[in-house]
Amino acid sequence: MNKLDLIAAVAQETDISKAKATEVVEAVFGAIEKSLKQKEEVRLVGFGTFVTAAREASKGRNPRTGEEIDIPASNSVRFKAGKTLKDAVN
């Protein structure tokens, strides 16, 4: 499922227009992104939790040349599925 499929599913499930569903989906994604930028955890009970994780700088190797390279520090987003979601998938 991609973003357009999600918007169509929300529109059909809630009986609203696709334009309104697009606004709603965009607002949800925007709120999650804003919270993560502020290093806040986003906990959606029953669905899962989004958190940011810091990765330290490290050394790596270019697989083609074997040359050692520096991998810079970065932040990433991690998602942990909630119990309800896990149970629904199994």
pLDDT digits (tens, 9 = 90+) for 27-71: 999 999 999 999 999 999 999 999 999 999 999 999 999 999 999
Count of all residues that appear for the chain in the document: 90
The tokens for 41 are 């955890």
| Report field, pTM of the whole predicted structure over 0.85 | no
Q: Where are the domains of the chain?
A: 1-39, 41-90
Q: 33, 25 in Cβ contact below 8 A?
A: no
pLDDT at position 90 is: 87
Q: What dotted CATH number matches 41-90?
A: 4.10.520.10
Q: Is the pLDDT of residue 26 over 90?
A: yes
What is the biggest distance separating any 2 CA atoms in the chain, rounded to whole angstroms?
57
Cβ atoms within 10 Å, residue 7: 19
